[in-house]
Amino acid sequence: MSLIIKKIILATTFNSCLFLLLIVGIQNSSNKSKVNFLINETVKLPISFIVGASFISGSLIGSFFNLNLNKKN
């Protein structure tokens, strides 16, 4: 199996597990807030969900970038 496929499967699996733990962990959260976009705003969501979902999405997107800083010309 290719290294790229393994990396995608590992990142997706890890971040999916983090998301499930986030859902279980915020069930008793009472602090809710809205996120304001340029045009609309979202429904009231727990602050911990907003922070956790942004961390997980950043982790997932960041895992797809390949930085070869030691590459020789």
Residue 58: give the domain boundaries. 3-62
Q: In 1-73, at which residue ranges do the beta strands (DSSP E only) sit?
A: 32-33, 45-46
Determine the pLDDT at residue 69: 61
Any domain includes 71: no
Q: Domain tally for the chain?
A: 1
pTM, to two decimals? 0.69
Helix (H, G, I), strand (E, B) or coil at 56: helix
Termini Cα distance of the chain: 28
Residue by residue, pLDDT tens for the chain (73 residues) are 787 788 888 888 999 998 898 888 888 777 888 878 788 887 888 888 888 889 998 988 888 776 666 766 5
Any domain includes 70: no
Any domain includes 69: no
Taking the CA atoms of 1, 55, 15 and 40 in sequence, report the sign of the dihedral they define: negative
